[in-house]
Amino acid sequence: MTKVLIIGAGIGGLGAAIALGRRGVDVDVVELRENSGVLGVGINQPANSLRALRALGVLDEVLAAGFPYDRNSFYDWQGRLVVDCPSALGGDVPANTALSRSDLHRILIGAVEKAGVKVTHGTTLHDLHDTGDHVDVTLTDGKAETYDLVIGFDGQRSPLRRRLFGTEHEPVFTGYSVWRLTMPRPAEVTHTMLFQGDGTKAGVIPLSDDSMYLLHVTAEPGNPHIPADGMAEMLAERLAGYGGLIGELRDSVSGADGIVYSPLSEVLLPSPWFKGRTIVLGDAAHACAPHLTQGAGMALEDAVVLAEELSPTGRAVGASLQAFMERRCQRVKLVQDVSHQILFGEMAVTTETLPAAVAHMRETLPGQLRQVENFLNQAFWAAGP
């Protein structure tokens, strides 16, 4: 494996560029966006994702930029504590570290440059022809090149997935969306705090000593277009029933700039995610609801595991990609399924069922969360070569 093309310079594509570049592979990255800017909200990196970032050599920078924490607390819509769940993640790394997406991007870009990889913006795949021995590629900037492998980290709407597998695996809108806003961090926000409402959920996640982000998950049937200029008022309206901390924060939402509105869609491409010498990874293969904050972690794990599986010399590319699939399917499916269940379970709560739902959370949530976290905390390279 000497020459690889990566399509998409998001978190997963940059992760793969670093992992392969550090192993001496000649990597080209093409990115559709004209520049390398990212939307200014935050992202949590749970322990398994931090381990992938450690494998990429950037853990210390991520920890220095972010806010480590070790628990999730659950409240009702009035801000009354339901249950506090210390995390079962971590050990050798913090259980969680949240940081701004722009900081994570800056750190990954720095490592990409150190690994000697060039990212070309405003360019994408024009055509490819897999000869069995290699892939002949033409790009939209007119360049033609031959690669040993083409990797699509081109996001949940992945044109590469469509090219390889047709249109039957398009993202499915869940009916729900997330509103996010970076705000000053009140001293009490030292970990993820989630507030269950009737058919909605609000939350806060610390990002640094000074900042945190507010999130709100709402039902948005029909996936309406939300105009940027009305967003702050719409978010404030949707938070109307909340008291406690969220009620206090609501007053600073009206008139705020920088709200990011994300409809939630899911994709899970059946195995295998490759055809010949072309593979799709990250959100292109498995975009999930963000409720375990694992999407980028799964993309980064994909990147690290793929680089490991491509390393043994003398193994056919198809055998390496199959070995990769064996290490990824179960883990990705668990994240997909649990994230889906949490989203739909929380959104199904009504005014009438709220007291029972809260009692159920108190009883069952710590055990359920511990079970999932124990699984995710197992080394994701354990089954590797």
Ligand X SMILES: Cc1cc2nc3c(=O)[nH]c(=O)nc-3n(C[C@H](O)[C@H](O)[C@H](O)COP(=O)(O)OP(=O)(O)OC[C@H]3O[C@@H](n4cnc5c(N)ncnc54)[C@H](O)[C@@H]3O)c2cc1C
Interface contacts to ligand X, rule CB under 6 A: 7-13, 30-33, 43-44, 49, 124, 153-155, 159, 178, 262, 282-284, 290, 293-297, 299
* Torsion on CA atoms 305, 299, 266, 161, rounded to nearest 10: -70
Angle at 209 between CA 207 and CA 212, to 5 degrees: 35
Q: Closest approach of Cβ 295 to ligand X, in Å?
A: 2
CB 53 within 8 A of CB 93: no
Residue with smaller CB distance to ligand X, 283 or 346: 283
- CA-to-CA dists, residue 26 to 36, 53, 115, 162, 275, angstroms: 21, 21, 10, 26, 21
Q: Between β-strands 192-196 and 71-76, what pairing exists: parallel, antiparallel or unpaired?
A: parallel
Residue type, 296: A
Residue type, 173: F
Q: Closest approach of Cβ 363 to ligand X, in Å?
A: 26
DSSP letter for 342, please.
H
- Residues forming a β-bridge with 193: 73, 204
Q: Closest approach of Cβ 352 to ligand X, in Å?
A: 28
Residue with smaller CB distance to ligand X, 36 or 322: 36
Residue with smaller CB distance to ligand X, 217 or 249: 217
Residue with smaller CB distance to ligand X, 32 or 226: 32
Distance from the first to the final alpha carbon of the chain: 17
Q: Closest approach of Cβ 234 to ligand X, in Å?
A: 16
Query: How many CB atoms are closer than 10 A to CB 163?
Result: 15
Which residue, judged by CB position, is nearest to ligand X in the bound state? Answer: 10
Q: Closest approach of Cβ 32 to ligand X, in Å?
A: 4
Residue with smaller CB distance to ligand X, 360 or 375: 375
SS3 state at 114: helix
Q: Closest approach of Cβ 100 to ligand X, in Å?
A: 11
Residue with smaller CB distance to ligand X, 239 or 358: 239
